Amino acid sequence: MNTLRERLAASASNCPSGVSFAKDIAPLFNGTDVAHMKQVTKGSLDLSSYDSVKIWAAQIYSQVSSGNMPPPPQQAWTPAQVNLFACWISQGCQP
């Protein structure tokens, strides 16, 4: 049986090469996102940390692809941003 991680990696399409956390993924999270999620999870989900986002990648994907996070008044991620996150996972979560 495929893991969730394998299934969502398979949903990535037309990925640019060399998707990285520093260049592509970290800029998707703003200061409000980072501060709130640190507070809500008592520090365990730090959206500014490569290690933390890598560990939580499948859950983050599930939240942003469903439009559940980030909550209003912020805009939900666009399909292109969600796809870029799936590309990052499909390429093995490069730093």
Binding residue for ligand HEM, selected from 52, 56, 82, 87, defined by CB under 6 A = 56
Secondary structure tally for the chain: helices H, strands E: 5, 0
Cα 2 from Cα 15, distance rounded (Å) = 21
Q: Supply the minimum distance, in Å, between the C-beta of residue 62 and ligand HEM.
A: 7
Task: List, in sequence order, the alpha helices (H) in 1-78.
Answer: 4-10, 31-40, 50-55, 57-66
Binding residue for ligand HEM, selected from 29, 49, 50, 94, defined by CB under 6 A = 29
Q: Supply the minimum distance, in Å, between the C-beta of residue 82 and ligand HEM.
A: 11
Q: Quick check: 21 and 88 in contact, CB under 8 A?
A: yes
Residue ranges that bind ligand HEM, judged by CB under 6 A? 29, 32-33, 36-37, 40, 45, 56, 59-60, 63-64, 69-71, 74
